[in-house]
Amino acid sequence: MRAGVALLVAALMALPVGAAPALSPATRVVSLSLCGDQFLLALDAQTQIAGLTRLAGDTHLSPYADRASGMPIHDGTAESVLMLKPDLVIAGGYARAQTVGMLERLGVPVLRLKTPQTLADIPPQIEQVADALGRGGQGRALADRLRAKLSAPGEGPRPTAALYRPGGEVPGSRGIVNDMMKAAGLENIGGKLSGRPNGRVAVETLLLNPPDLLVLDSVRPDRPGVGQSVMDHPALAAARGEMAVAAFPIAWWLCASPASIEGVERLAEVAGRALGTHEEAAYQPAAIPKPLPAGEGSIR
């Protein structure tokens, strides 16, 4: 029995020999996180995908959901991933540390993507994934197209903004939400409100220090809960005279992915619209960069 297990392990370890990411292109790639899914789909690597996460096809959470239709889905456990016989596993920053460790012990090559904290971190990761897939040229082209969109945000006064999530969660000064707001010409005051890099903000704190723009990305009346009920607190509805409110699809920044760079244009667009139509608004629309025309750089 024990010998059998040893044999099995040995067989599994023997499988991916020579499949080190940079050497020969991986042909059976499994992504362990929704964010990993996005990189594979952004590269249009459907022919090399052996498994995506269950959320890859969720149009609400996954910006490339339309490309994920028909792709094999796994449940994220080590055994089901092993059954897919991957020659490369793409793992996110935090998700499924136990599973990733187990796969590494069993000899499956794992490419760990650090969670990008800024938009500028994303193009190098595209190239990294593209190289592992043997799509180096395509990766560089996509990365360059996206790099061209990253420009230093204009100087001058910026409207303040905060993203408000179920339960009062407010992303602060660290992470992709903050960087996307910056790139869209907004000043994220989430960190100031909660007093921490990422924390919770009570409804009353928000009312007392209202940002110019309140961004909502997770309003789901179809999925009720205690956290959702905090989002439609009557006091917030009454305070709509104090701040503009914009809805922004969570898919663009739930994962820091190639889509996030494009999401900046969408964010600037919805922010500009909300701030512009807001009655008491005294903001210069010039503070918000005009959305770039969606030309050949567009991914979707």
Partner 1 sequence: MTATTQDIRAQCRGRGAQAAGHSGLALLLLLILFPILLTASFLIGPADVPAVDLLSGLFSGQASPAALIAFEIRLPRALLGALVGAGLGMAGAALQGYLRNPLAEPSLIGASSSASLGAVLAIYFGLSATAPLALPVAGMLGAALAMLLIQGLAGRDASVLMLILAGLAVQTLAGSLTSLALNLAPNPHAALEIAFWLLGSLTDRTNDHLLVAAPFIIAGILVLGGSGRALDALGLGERTAGSMGVDLNRLRWRIIIGTVLSVGAAVAVTGSIGFVGLVVPHLLRRVTGNQPSRLLWPSALAGACLLLTADILVRLLPTNDELKLGVVTGLIGAPFFFHLLLKTRERMR
Query: Among residues 115 and 205, whose Cβ is nearest to partner 1?
Result: 205
Q: How far is the CB of 159 from partner 1 (least distance, A)?
A: 18
Q: How far is the CB of 34 from partner 1 (least distance, A)?
A: 11
Query: Among residues 174 and 200, whose Cβ is nearest to partner 1?
Result: 200
Q: Please tell me whether residue 80 binds partner 1 under the rule CB under 8 A.
A: no
Query: Among residues 80 and 205, whose Cβ is nearest to partner 1?
Result: 205
Q: How far is the CB of 179 from partner 1 (least distance, A)?
A: 24
Site string for partner 1, 184-223 (x = CB under 8 A): ------------x--xx-xxxx-xx-x-------x-xxxx
Let me know: does 265 contact 180? Beta carbons within 8 Å: no
Q: How far is the CB of 60 from partner 1 (least distance, A)?
A: 10
Query: Among residues 11 and 208, whose Cβ is nearest to partner 1?
Result: 208
Site string for partner 1, 148-187 (x = CB under 8 A): ------------------xxx-------------------
Of positions 100, 119, 230, 244, contacts partner 1 by CB under 8 A: 230
Identify the burial level of 35 via C-beta atoms within 10 angstroms of its C-beta, where 0-12 means exposed, 13-18 middle and 19 or more buried.
buried
Query: What is the binding site for partner 1 (CB under 8 A)?
Result: 166-168, 196, 199-200, 202-205, 207-208, 210, 218, 220-230, 233-235, 238-239, 241-242
